[in-house]
Amino acid sequence: MTMSRRELRALRGFVFDLDGCVWTGDILVPGAAEVLGLLREQGRRVSFLTNNSRARSATMQAKLARLGVEAAVEDVLTPLEILGEVIAARWGPSRVLAIGGPELEAAVLDGGHTLVPVDRYREATVVVVGNDFAFSFERLTAAARAIAGGAAFVTANLDPRLPLEGGDFLPGCGAVVESVAAAAGARPVVIGKPEPPLFELALQRMGVRAEEAAMVGDSVDSDIRGARRVGMTAILFAPDGGLDGVAHFVVKSMAQLRRLLS
């Protein structure tokens, strides 16, 4: 899948994945700041879209600021920003067993729902699973039993790994989700990438149509397929090389992307 550089340069908005594209761990990806600076100099809209299930927009915006990248809070989107409203729209005010970090729990509460403790899992009407750094056999048991007993099953994403600096990684949200799914015998409703809602919200906030925007990401399944699904140009950031057959462009470095846009 290819398109011309002229078509790429005509785009009005660019959405960047964060983990693995703008930063790895606590280190800015080489050339990322220069690409973002160029796009802003050219008068294009820039936003950021992450599948992170442990952080809300303000937390991600603060990390960007620490790394020297300017962004407004409303230009940074995570699945937690829409979690509460998705639950409310599908199941109404709910009793939620939240398997994840404190910001996931806060997002549930802000959506007008109540939290169910792990030891009272049978009261849950919805189970939300994020990347849980305190994941345990007890939590796995509670989540799986609640879902098997009829509770709805929701997750931010199915990404198996969270990339870190130096090529290291942490198990991602998807790794936790798959263990719950296997035990529960059920598949989750996914609200993050590659599903359309976050892409559509990013486009809406930038004030551009899908055909006027590109998604820059390092995951074929989450970023590239999700972008293609809503009609955006898909740019795969692949430092290790390789062609995926789905993206419109494949770049090995942010310097290469900058040259394409110059």
Q: Cα(159)–Cα(68) distance, rounded to whole angstroms?
A: 27
Distances (CA, A) of 61 to 67, 70, 158: 10, 8, 23
Which of 19, 75, 218, 223 is flagged as catalytic? 19
For 84-133, the DSSP string reads: HHHHHHHH-S-EEEEES-HHHHHHHHHTT-EE--GGGGGG-SEEEE---T
Q: For residues 107, 109, 114 and 119, what is the CA-based torsion angle, rounded to 10 degrees? A: 60
Phi-psi region of 49 (alpha: psi -120 to 50; beta: other; left: phi over 0): beta
Q: Are 90 and 189 in contact (CB under 8 A)?
A: yes
Q: How many residues does the chain have?
A: 262
User: Which of 20, 10, 3, 2 shows the shortest CA–CA distance to 261?
Assistant: 10
Strands (E), the chain: 13-16, 23-24, 27-28, 45-49, 76-77, 95-99, 114-115, 126-129, 152-155, 161-163, 169-171, 189-190, 213-217, 233-237, 249-251
Candidates 17, 75, 132, 159; catalytic one: 17
Respond yes or no: is residue 19 known to be catalytic. yes
- Chain centre distance of CA 137: 26
Question: Catalytic site residue 221?
Answer: no
Q: Which residues are catalytically annotated?
A: 17, 19
